[in-house]
Amino acid sequence: MSNAMELLRSVKDSTDDTEFYTPMPEGYEPGRTKYVAVFGTVMSGLGKGIFSSSLAKLLKDKGLKVAPIKLEGYLNIDSGTLNPFRHGEVFVLDDGMETDMDLGTYERMLDQDLTGANFATSGQIFNSVLEKERAGSYLGRDVQMIPHVTGEVKLRLREVAMESDSDVVFIEVGGTVGDIENAFYIEALRELSYEEGEGSVLFVALTYVLSPPTLGEQKSKAAQLGIKRLMEFGIHPHLIACRAEDRVTDKVRQKISIYTNVPVNRVFSMHDLPSIYLLPQIMREEGLDSEVVQMLNLGGLINSAEDARNSQAWEKFSSKIDTHTHEVTIGVTGKYTALRDSYASIIKSLEHAEVANDAKVNIEWIDTTDINDDNVADILAKVDGIIVPGGFGVRGTGGKIACIKYARENKMPYLGICLGFQMAVIEYARNVCGLTDADSTEIDPDTKTPVISVLPEQKKIEGLGGNMRLGGQDVMIAPDTMASEMFGGATNIRERFRHRYEVDPEYIERLEQAGLIFSGKHGEHQIMQILELPRDVHPYFVAAQFHPELTSRPLRPQPMFKGLVKAAIETK
């Protein structure tokens, strides 16, 4: 145990008798849990979450228990109000926490459900500190960034370690070193390393190696200066991951090694790959996982037989990424198509489905803003199936309805998600049921035929108030339906929701009499959650009020995406 921790163990409160202040979870043992902290330099968006989750996966493969946590610098309490154009998709956890898209990367790579404990923002941290100040928890001390705010960060990290009973906690610090909003996170991790003791905390710097086209060679100066900035905070990296378009040369790796005192075998080339799912195997081949095990003294916990089995299963999956028998094009019709990160989970779900179907899936991004019944045939001529994803607001909904009508009438495989489910109900009500003015109260609050609306009794049932229905919910599956077939005969599944509007029960019977099948419903209330058309009417017309993309995993592709790709192959 470190000298710092010996002092801290005897100090529970911040008093005038000591300057030490580090709140601890009940029963926490310093030094038992190991920590890996990943920082970004040079620029954001380089793949800290991809690197961190890949390394975490390799350790989990060896039989270790791992837990990730993302530390975000922004003051929002969660990611729910962030514009997809600015920050990518909002990923919803089973407990309803709306998070950064990196949490989806962790869940998919680790095949592990996470909770709100795995996600923290500056807003959460400051809110907690201020609540404690108001409650008198700091015993009259002036509340400061050090030790109180940094102490709250360390408390969050140790609570994750305790709640998950993990051997290793992976910490990703959002943004880049030098961002003013991240400074207290970096300081907290420096303190954590000091308090937990030698060999308990491992630091990773993810940097960027430039390749200016006019120079024709890789340049490492920006990477060196970025890492230097991290070292000025008292963080000396144990590993360095170098992002680059092409494999980082030995010469550049040697330069960075000399500049940072990091052995060259721990300076890793994280160059562009066809898929992020190829990264774990490359890291394994480079021996990065073995280096981490050695540095954190985890050798006694390794299960070699389990490691071999997991490695073989992943290699079998990843080896199929670049090989395929079939090729199809799926159109994603939405209003955020200019930024691919807005649909990150849909992209990954299609990747999982293409491997499962021995196919290559090309994605055609289709902005629905200007689509109508007159031009929809030309716009969809190049695709073999379409997805209408979730979204909010009025813009582009008319184009989505036109796409759905075309897919239904021309037997084009269709998957609707959340808003895509609601638009499918509206399209069917208008063009099959004869309710020509059918609409959603989200689109037209004064509509006389609100087949989609927010119902007071449903809000009361779900305890929603004016908020969305968020997180994991059970879905009851009707037997002898396409949904039942897709989900292996299951009568009950659990999926994640993020919506306000529902199918109005007043119109359910009329829709069903006209041939629409609601094959997934709430267990107790009249809430429709999956719709489909019979196979003898349409080869694949399916929609879900939930977000199936949030639960798809590489080795367990989500059945609705798998079914869409399969149908696209068969009907091409």
Given 262, 293, 317, the domain boundary residue is 317
Between the two ends of the chain, the Cα-to-Cα distance in Å is 65
Q: 388 with 274, same domain?
A: no
User: Could you tell me the residue range of the domain that residue 438 belongs to?
Assistant: 326-571
Q: 281 with 369, same domain?
A: no
Whether 418 sits among the annotated catalytic residues: the reply is yes
* CA–CA gap between residue 15 and residue 18 (Å, rounded): 6
| pLDDT value at residue 461 | 52
| pLDDT value at residue 1 | 47
Name the nearest CA neighbour of 161 among 39, 267, 344, 27. 27
* CA–CA gap between residue 307 and residue 58 (Å, rounded): 8
Structure-token match 């003013």, residue found: 180
Q: Is 247 helix (H, G, I), strand (E, B) or coil?
A: coil
Q: 294 with 341, same domain?
A: no
Ordered alpha helix ranges (H), 96-220: 102-110, 122-134, 150-164, 183-196
Residue 282 burial by CB count (10 A; 0-12/13-18/19+): exposed, middle or buried? middle
**Residue 320 DSSP class:** T
Q: 338 with 459, same domain?
A: yes
Q: 471 with 558, same domain?
A: yes
| pLDDT value at residue 44 | 86
Whether 238 sits among the annotated catalytic residues: the reply is no
Residue 341 burial by CB count (10 A; 0-12/13-18/19+): exposed, middle or buried? middle
Q: 269 with 397, same domain?
A: no
Helix (H) or strand (E) holding 560: helix 559-571
Q: Identify the CATH number of the domain in which residue 340 sits.
A: 3.40.50.880
From the candidates 107, 418, 462, 532, which is the catalytic residue? 418
Could you tell me the mean pLDDT of each successive run of 10 residues in the chain, 572 residues long? 50 57 91 97 91 98 98 93 79 95 96 97 97 90 93 97 97 94 96 96 97 91 95 97 96 96 97 96 96 97 96 95 94 75 93 97 93 95 96 80 97 97 98 96 93 71 59 96 96 94 95 97 92 97 98 98 98 92
* CA–CA gap between residue 288 and residue 323 (Å, rounded): 27
> Has this prediction a pTM greater than 0.85?
yes
Helix (H) or strand (E) holding 421: helix 419-431
Question: What angle, 0 to 180 degrees and rounded to 10, lies between the N-to-C axes of helices 102-110 and 48-61?
Answer: 20
Can you state the percent helix, strand and coil of the chain, rounding each to 5? 40, 20, 40
What token pair was written down for 188? 């907290």
Q: 290 with 335, same domain?
A: no
Domain total for the chain? 2
Q: 46 with 15, same domain?
A: yes
Whether 549 sits among the annotated catalytic residues: the reply is yes
**Residue 25 DSSP class:** -
Q: 332 with 298, same domain?
A: no
| pLDDT value at residue 17 | 64
Q: 411 with 513, same domain?
A: yes
* CA–CA gap between residue 177 and residue 194 (Å, rounded): 20
**Residue 131: HSE in the Cβ half-sphere, 13 Å Cα cutoff:** 7
Q: 346 with 310, same domain?
A: no
Q: 340 with 479, same domain?
A: yes
Q: Is the separation of the CB atoms in 221 and 207 below 8 Å?
A: no
Q: Which amino acid is at 297?
A: N
